[in-house]
Amino acid sequence: MLFAKSLVEKSDKMVKPKDAVQKMSPYHPPTSGRGKKLRLDFNENTIGCSPKVIRALQKIDSNAMSVYPEYEDFKPVLAKHLNISPSELILSNGTDEGIKMIIDTFMEGGEEIIIPTPTFAMFKFYASVAEAKITEVLYNEDLSFPTDKVLAAINPNAKLVVLVNPNNPTGTSIAEEDIIAIIKKASENNAIVLSDEAYYGFYEKSSINLIKKYDNLFVTRTFSKAFGLAGIRLGYTLSQKDNIAALAKAGSPYNVSTLAIIAAKAALDDVEFVNKYTQEVRDNTDWFIEELSKLGLSVFPTDANFVVVKIGEKCGEVCDTLKEKGILVRNRTRDPLLEGCIRITIGTKEQCDQVLRELKTILGK
């Protein structure tokens, strides 16, 4: 009895996380049991990575596994691919860590982050952990980018403005003149701009050329999407060298694994494989949207490798039925502006045909 009482007294005195973490909602992406299905829910490469990556990983010996990762041979290769200096980039464990590094390095608790929404959940997630003041700016009703509203939201307390180009989950792109206007106003208010280009491989327009001109711009990219390497968790951030040095100072020295470096280097040695896949996706996009429209569905324009489709009140039922058929799509009905909508990754022609056949059957019932 005394033993039980001591346990209760001990539990009452347990250390608790800080208030910001206690108030957060946990992020639970549906990531289990996806491997053998048609994965059109996370905007991944639907055919997998280059065969060169697999061959490179198969050649790894025990010595490579027993030493800490080395990045100095890989960074010049990546920098050459991007046409920048190695001093203008830093590697990260996926884009997620790149976002966290920027927030941790440049934001103080209570400073404001401006996030156009709906968008990638991890911006708000890491901002909440950092106890930032979060200002969400709603996209326009047609899912176009709310340039005027974002510009109006930038103020002297703002420290970070988030841009996602193209945006996830809406597929919306941002015109370069709008990006420049936001960068300039942010600079006037001593704020930085983070432009996430996770879907650059399918859009092929970038803000990298603006880095040398504007010292408050950061661009993040990933090997997870077009390169088909989501499992290795490799991203990178680009900015002026002083900004990159600050990120490196605040970051972990061994955050990216040896396996990730070997895989990414092999992937860059087969850019033709990636380009062929991304071109097929771009070629399929207009046709896929037209075929979805023929089924009586409302479809939003997209500049990414996915499309938002208005299903209506049967949204959840359609997602569940597709899952029973081995096809995974993402229910986005809980996002602002996306009630009754699903997001479908655009893959090969054969994969798109499979989705259309099943949707036709489901909607017919």
Cβ atoms of 74 and 250 closer than 8 Å? no
CA dist 304 and 133 (Å) reads: 29
Q: Mean per-residue pLDDT for 88-99? A: 97
5 vs 236: which has the higher pLDDT: 236
pLDDT value of residue 19: 74
Q: Is residue 23 part of a domain?
A: no
Is residue 9 predicted with pLDDT exceeding 90?
no
pLDDT for 6: 53
Residues 237 and 261 in one domain: yes
How many domains are contained in the chain?
A: 2
Residue 263 burial by CB count (10 A; 0-12/13-18/19+): exposed, middle or buried?
buried
Residue 288 lies in a domain: yes
Looking at the predicted structure, is the pLDDT value of residue 49 above 90?
yes
CATH of the domain at 310: 3.90.1150.10
- Average pLDDT estimate for 218-240: 97
- Of 219, 244, 269, which one is at a domain's C-terminal end? 269
Copy the structure tokens of residue 279: 């071109």
84 and 177, same structural domain?
yes
Residues 62 and 200 in one domain: yes
Residue with the larger pLDDT of the pair 365 and 199:
199
Query: Who has greater pLDDT, 18 or 360?
Result: 360
Co-location of 61 and 41 in the same domain:
no
Residues 151-182: tens digit of each pLDDT: 999 999 999 999 999 999 999 999 999 999 99
Kindly state whether residues 184 and 139 are assigned to the same domain.
yes
pLDDT reading at 278 higher than 90: yes
Asked whether residue 277 is assigned to any structural domain, the reply reads: yes
Residue 235: give its domain's CATH number.
Answer: 3.40.640.10
Cβ atoms of residues 228 and 49 within 8 Å = yes
Assess if residue 100 is contained within a domain.
Answer: yes
Can you tell me the distance from the alpha carbon of 21 to that of 284, in angstroms, rounded to the nearest whole number?
42
Same domain, 254 and 276: no
Structure tokens at 326: 């081995």
pLDDT tens string 203-227: 999 999 999 999 999 999 999 999 9
| Cβ–Cβ under 8 Å, residues 341 and 309 | yes
Instruction: Tell whether the model's pLDDT for residue 280 goes beyond 90.
Output: yes
Verify that 128 and 250 share a domain, yes or no.
Answer: yes
Residue 9 domain-assigned?
A: no
Q: Where are the beta strands (DSSP E) in 223-326?
A: 235-238, 298-299, 306-310
Same domain, 218 and 69: yes
| Residue 298 shares a structural domain with residue 253 | no
Give yes or no: residues 103 and 230 share one domain: yes
More confident site: 14 or 150 = 150
Residue 31, pLDDT score: 59
| Amino acid occupying residue 294 | K
Question: What is the pLDDT, as a whole number, of residue 27?
Answer: 65
Among 269, 298, 317, residue at a domain's last position: 269
Q: Is residue 344 a part of any domain in this protein?
A: yes
Domain shared by 85 and 224, yes or no: yes
What would the mean pLDDT of 223-250 be, rounded to a whole number? 97
Helix (H, G, I), strand (E, B) or coil at 209: helix
Domain extent for 279:
34-47+272-364
**The pTM is what?**
0.92
d(CA 162, CA 157): 15
In angstroms, the Cα distances linking 44 to 38, 111, 157, 276 are: 11, 34, 36, 15
Predicted local distance difference test score (pLDDT) of residue 284: 96
Say if residue 186 is in the same domain as residue 71.
Answer: yes
Answer with the one of 218, 237, 269 that is the final residue of a domain: 269
Residues forming beta bridges with residue 113, ordered by sequence position = 134, 160
Structure tokens at 20: 């910001």
- 29 within a domain of the structure (yes/no): no
Whether 25 is covered by a domain: the verdict is: no
